[in-house]
Amino acid sequence: MTTLAPTLSTRYFPRSAAWMRNLLLVFSGAILVSLFAQVKTPLPFTPVPLTGQTFAVLLVGATLGSKRGAASLTLYAALGALGLPIFAGGAAGMAYLSGATFGYLLGFVVAAFVIGRLAERGLERNLRTSIIPFFVGTLVIYAFGAGWLALLFGVEKALAIGALPFIIGDTIKLVLAALALPAAWKLVK
């Protein structure tokens, strides 16, 4: 029996430890996005608020990778849809999820996956190259967010209320995410 103990612990414990670590990272990513969603500035000319979510989505995607990043943002959207007040400004529920911000929330999941995939290929290793996955991820968020608004309001209005007002702020968030990435990597490791 004592000869099996090392085999069992080395064979099964690392898997369960890795599974628990992945679960913790996915949950932590959802919490991070939830916290930054509470940084909300409503804009009078658009149903889409200015939030810190994009910053958190960029970091989650780059630090957790494609699968865990997408899982984290899926968990975030699911928890908010189930009624936890974790969307922008403490909003929650299916009504909010299916409203004007639906495209952005869906875009968060896809962006985290894309950013994670690019990071897995080494594009997040330094400040200069980390801008690339963050820029691509931001474009993905815009494509889904403004795309959904275009279905609701038309293309011109979608760009006017869902993309153009956010370019400067999202550029700042992109740069801040690139600067914060080394610290985020240390936390994940």
Indicate which CATH number applies to the domain containing 72: 1.10.1760.20
The whole-angstrom separation of Cα 14 and Cα 45 is 52
Q: Residue 127 sits in which domain range? A: 4-188
Number of domains in the chain: 1
Q: Tell me the average pLDDT across 3-29.
A: 71
- Main-chain phi, psi angles of 156, to 5 degrees: -60, -45
Above 70 in pLDDT, residue 10? no
Find all residues with CB under 8 Å of 55, minimum gap 6, and list them.
Answer: 36, 173, 176, 177
In the prediction, which pLDDT does 4 show? 42
Q: Per residue in 137-150, pLDDT tens? A: 999 999 999 999 99
- pTM of the model as a whole: 0.87
Residue 12 — very low, low, confident or very high, per pLDDT cuts 50/70/90? low
Best CA proximity match to 38, nearest among 99, 107, 84, 95: 84
